[in-house]
Chains A and B, each alone.
Chain A
Amino acid sequence: AQTAPRAGGKKRVVVVGGGFGGATAAKYLKIGAPDYDVTLVERDKVFTSCPLSNEVISGEYPLSKLQVGYDGLIKRGINVVFDDATAVDPAKKTVRLKSGTTLNYDALVLSPGIDFNFAGIEGHSEAAANNELPHAYKAGPQTLLLHKQLAAMKDGGTFIITVPPGPFRCPPGPYERASQVAYYFKHKGMNKSKVLILDSNDSFSKIGLFQQAWKLQYPGMIEWVPGASGGKVVKVDAKTRTAYTDFDKFQGDVVNVIPPHHAGHIAKNTGLTNERGWCTVNMLTMESTVHPDIWVVGDSCVHGDLPVYGAPKSAHMANTQAKVAVGAIIAKLSGLPAPEPYFVNTCYSVTQPGYGFSVVHIYRVVDGKLVYATDAGGVSPVEAPAITRKLEAEYQVGWFKNIMADAFS
């Protein structure tokens, strides 16, 4: 059944979460259907980007350059409501806000990002993350805290990064972070310091390129312990900054615990998640497979050609998923079939100033199914002229500025 236009009213779309996915969705909805009533609900007045935040940890980039407000979207005619969405009623098609307001929708977009499962690691808590063991996996105060902890280290110390089981936000993120920390040590002359990555997984994104860069730039400085070699952290002690695996314990001067995470609470509480905590969606439209008229984009969803390559949880992916959801929403509210979707992802990683590389993912629709294109995309070549790494380091910043503008202005 199609939603008829309200008498004298406009079609109403509510977007929850004004990050990369939600901001893009709101903007492109207004471009694609200027007569819709588009409301964006976001709890913070200023958005802080995770992309490039590893460079804030190493002191290469100021946090302020990663921040943007919502004036650009307001100017486009989007109602931006600074509030917390506390409940969705999929039957009544309403969203309740903390302030008490209730919003009606014809279509709802959820892009709430991630929330952490602190209980997944014995001894861990939100309070510990805010103080002794920051995750800095939502950019903001913890990013600055982690930078401060790094800056307080003395030479000869160990910086531990613990990586949760996948899928997690930004697959190359922990390894780019390790590189940035090593860069900090190197240029501060702290050559006896170490980075220890305790990983729950047995491989990682762009592994060949990272290991090549580490050998070249930071020989002996970064140690990676995969899950199969006992890298999985199961318990932490905040007071002593100790991480425990099933076999061993590791004490660090800084311990950056990235806890396991799942879809944002609002998506979970609406019952949209699977047993692993992520929202299942129609691969071609991003509409929830649980409740109709709710589209889930960004880190909260599971998406992609799962047997071959699940779509990574990246800002770029959130941005393209949002554009696809917008096309599907406008089609559905107009009683038309969803248009053919296009999904592209790119992610640049920089291991030291002037040295970067990337991964590109392309998905196509073949016989009504979304498949990962194996004849395109892939990672930067390991053997490449020196100029390639220099260019890709420059492109990271250009990409960042464009995606921020594409989503927020």
Chain B
Amino acid sequence: DKTAALAATCNNCHGTNGVSVGPSMPSIGGLPEAYLRTVMMQWKSGERYSATMSRLIKGYSDQQIADLAKYFAAKPWVPQPQPVDAKILAQGKAASERCTTCHGDTGSQPDDPAETPQIHGQWAKYMELEMMKYRDNAVAMPHRRMRGNTQRLKEEDVAAVAQYYAAQQK
């Protein structure tokens, strides 16, 4: 159908059905519909920084964005198996303490899915890059508390916490 054809234009970056196989690119299949729509609309309005997505999404109408959000939200979330060594896992888990109020213990139970995406099994590389953005005030990511929390992480914990959430399959 129409939306499937539209969504096929996303597959070459986000993977067939929104399941990414490239560690720097996020999986988007199975993310909450409201979250998907919000970030895309924020890129379109220029309210949200991105390196690539904002130039792309400006080419889609508000209706198409809503359709895409619905389409990808209906796909299953497929956590990517990303085994990590026990030491880093423990370091990441310890550092994730300040994250659990919003993301839950394993990243799969966001307190408010309309606003917060699940992050368990998301690509570690992608999450590390996202945290770089939240930690960099030059790009002013829109979510103030996410910025505050990631900025309070120790530099050496950033990759570890990303790998901790990436390793969670449930």
Contacts and interface: CB of A to CB of B under 8 A. Distances in A.
Contact of A385 (B6, B12, B20, B136): B136
Interface string B74-104: 0000000000000000000000000000000
Contacts of B138: 385-387
A142 interface: no
Nearest to A322: B8
A397 B20 CA distance: 12
Contacts of B8: 28, 320, 323, 342
Contact of A406 (B6, B12, B132, B139): B12
A81 interface: no
6 contacts: A346-B52, A387-B136, A398-B24, A402-B13, A402-B21, A406-B16
Contacts of B12: 316, 319-320, 399, 402-403, 406
A358 B55 CA distance: 10
B13 A346 contact: yes
A55 to B, nearest CB: 15
B58 interface: yes
Interface residues of A, number: 42
Interface in A286-309: none
Contacts of A378: 55
Nearest to B133: A387
A377 B58 contact: yes
A392 B52 contact: yes
B123 to A, nearest CB: 8
Given A320-B9, A402-B14, A362 B51 contact: no
A402 B51 contact: no
A204 interface: no
Given A320-B9, A323-B8, A398-B125, 15 more contacts: A342-B9, A358-B51, A373-B58, A377-B58, A377-B59, A385-B138, A386-B138, A394-B125, A395-B51, A399-B25, A402-B12, A405-B15, A405-B16, A405-B21, A406-B12
B133 A398 contact: no
B56 A362 contact: yes
Contacts of A397: 22-24
Interface of A: 28, 316, 319-320, 323-324, 327, 339-344, 346, 358, 360, 362, 364, 373, 375-378, 380, 385-388, 390-392, 394-395, 397-403, 405-406
A349 to B, nearest CB: 13
Secondary structure type dominating chain A contacts: helix
Given A377-B58, A387-B139, A397-B22, A323 B5 contact: yes
Contacts of A340: 2, 5
A378 B54 CA distance: 10
Contacts of A401: 21-23, 25
A406 B2 CA distance: 19
Interface in B127-154: 129, 132-133, 136, 138-139
Nearest to A393: B24
Nearest to B6: A342
Contacts of A323: 5, 8-9
B11 interface: yes
A390 B129 CA distance: 9
A375 B56 CA distance: 10
B26 to A, nearest CB: 9
Contact of A346 (B16, B24, B56, B129): B56
Nearest to B7: A342
A402 B56 contact: no
Contacts of A362: 56, 58-59
Interface in B18-46: 20-25
B94 to A, nearest CB: 26
Given A342-B5, A342-B9, A402-B15, A395 B58 contact: no
B24 A376 contact: no
Contacts of B9: 320, 323, 342-344
